[in-house]
Amino acid sequence: MAASNVNVGLGIGMSGETTAPDQIFRGQQQRDIAAAKAAKKKADEEEKELDLIKKKILLERPEVHPLETKRVTDELAKTAQRILNAKRENPNDYLQTAYTAFNEYTNTLNDAKFKTKMFKELDTKLSKPGSSTYINSDLKRARDLMSSSETTEEWFNNLEKNGIKPSKYFNFDKATGRIEFYTPPAYDPIKATKQFIGQHSNDLLFSDYDPSTKEVKSQFGTVRTQAEADEIFKRKVLENKGSTVGVSRPYSGQQMAYDFFADPEALEQYIDRFKLQGKTLKETVDHYLTNIYDPLAGNKDKYGLKGSFEINVNTAAGETGRKFGPDKIGKIRIANVEVTPFRRISLSDKPIAIKSNISGSFFNAKTGQQTQAKDIKTVDLYMQEMYYLPVLIEGNKVSRIISDSEISTLKSQNKRVDYKPFVIVGEENFLTEMTKLNFDKNFLVPLEAIESNIKNTFKKTKDVDELAEWEKAKNIVKLAMTAAN
């Protein structure tokens, strides 16, 4: 073959320059090399990205509630396997497969973390609830079943098997795995009943004075049933000549129950606490009387030597001394209006004779106003009872005695209302009790104006100290006033 023919066949001219076919071939070569490099770089980057996903899955060990541990662990293992198999199962787009698996696991993990927060809150709240928080019985059982279950699904199944249904105290949704719980303030029937009994511990149920022994047998406190309270009220009205004025109805254990159960939440908690579901209100009240009222109220059949009259106390030397027991009474009438004394203290079982020079300190029971000075310096007077009466204070002095109906109005006008002790002083020895008050011969005298006269009648020996008993009675009233305010 001729040389020229060879050159033509190779596409190379006599000048040594490449021809067009040669340039096309070399360009394609370069493009192929570049594409191969790009493909390798992409593959390397995808491998690195896949490794990062694997590390994220394998190295992350999230803390979740024990009920969610198995689900998260199983999902983690399944996701890791899917990522490892992604390249083999989908070589052209294995990163998409890996990311899909990773996102599904992340959703499961986030859901588990949310439930963990709910479950831990329940655990924490119920582990140390405190005395002021009420934990419903079904809520307690739900928590116990939580501890004995391995998974959330198993827990919800156990709730259903044990008859725990969604309620306002504990609500759960099996489909979503969500829970809600409610721990309201606790209504304590024992604490409430102690308060009821304490408030009415001085309520007089029965009183009988024996002049031969100078003792008064009295029963104070509350009765068990409303029927008993009604009977005592009827008897007191009869003793009061048929009038209900000043006669109070005793507070009963039944009334305590109804007052306590007046709050629906208190009733609901009581029924749940004592497993009284399905019981009538009457049956629930009977349960309260037997299990709460009776143990706290004690035996009311035992009468104590209490009361407002003088009690003679025999001493080792055979002497006797007075004790002054302050008590509550109902309404009385002064100045033709109703007045409720805060307390009464009886000075003796019979009127005490005194000589008095208490001019200008008399208050007229007809008007409630201070009277004109009376010259009674040498007149024999008698006293027997003292009452803490509501008064209007003006200029730091007692202006007048006020009625029950005035108290709220005066207070709303920023007037000063207080209770001050007044002794009933009479010109006749049988007219010194409020129930026998004669407006023409009896007067109300502030204690401060007559206390020295009262103290002059006190006996004080090595065995008897009536002054100490007097101060004790006044302190009892003072403490009661402080507590009331």
Q: What is the pLDDT of residue 288?
A: 93
Tokens (6 digits) for 277? 């579901």
- Type and span of the H or E element at 89: helix 66-89
Q: Hey, what are 239's tokens?
A: 């003793």
Quick one: tokens of 121?
Answer: 């809150």
Amino acid 427: pLDDT: 76
Which range is least confidently modeled, 52-66, 192-206, 276-290? 52-66
Residue 102: its pLDDT value, please? Answer: 78
> Of 168, 143, 138, 167, nearest to 155 (Cα)?
143
Please tell me the pTM assigned to this model: 0.47
Q: Is the pLDDT of residue 453 over 80?
A: yes
Is the pLDDT at 388 greater than 90? The verdict is: yes
What is the token pair recorded at 53? 């996903």
Q: What is the mean pLDDT of the chain?
A: 76
Contact yes or no for 378/359 (Cβ under 8 A): no
pLDDT value at residue 438? 65
Task: Please state the separation of Cα 196 from the chain's center in Å.
Answer: 15
Q: How high is the pLDDT of residue 410?
A: 92
pLDDT at 215 over 60: no
Question: Is the pLDDT reported for residue 280 higher than 90?
Answer: yes
Angle at CA 134, nearest 5°, toward 132 and 136?
Answer: 170
pLDDT above 50 (res 57)? yes
Q: CA nearest 451: which of 420, 419, 416?
A: 420
Are 289 and 257 within 8 A, CB to CB? yes
**Averaging pLDDT over each range in 102-111, 199-208, 284-293, which range is the top one?**
284-293
State how far the Cα of 430 lies from the Cα of 384, in Å rounded to an integer.
Answer: 10
Please tell me the predicted confidence (pLDDT) of residue 313: 34
Listed in sequence order, the DSSP H helices in 213-252 are 226-239
Closest CA to 221 of 196, 199, 207, 203: 203
Q: What is the pLDDT of residue 77?
A: 81
pLDDT (tens digit per residue) in 135-190: 888 888 888 888 888 888 888 898 889 888 888 888 888 888 888 888 888 888 98
Residue pointed to by tokens 């403490």: 479
pLDDT at 297 exceeding the cut of 60: yes
**pLDDT tens, 218-260?**
677 788 888 888 888 888 787 777 777 777 788 899 999 999 9
Model confidence pLDDT, tens digit, residues 4-50: 444 444 444 445 565 666 666 666 666 656 555 554 555 555 566 66
Please tell me the predicted confidence (pLDDT) of residue 194. Answer: 87
Residue 466 clears pLDDT 80, i.e. is over it: yes
Residue 305 is classified by DSSP as S
Pull the structure tokens for residue 123: 């655990």
| Closest of 373, 350, 354, 484 to residue 427, by C-alpha | 354
Please tell me the predicted confidence (pLDDT) of residue 311: 33
Confidence of residue 399 (pLDDT cuts 50, 70, 90): confident
Top mean pLDDT of 249-253, 365-369, 373-377 is at: 249-253
pLDDT on residue 318: 44
- Inform me whether the pLDDT recorded for 314 exceeds 70: no
Q: Give the whole-angstrom CA distance, residue 424 versus residue 431.
A: 9
Say what the pLDDT of residue 304 is: 35
Mean pLDDT, to the nearest integer, of 382-390? 88
For 412, phi then psi, to 5°, come to -65, -25
Q: CB-hemisphere CA count at 13 Å for 418?
A: 12
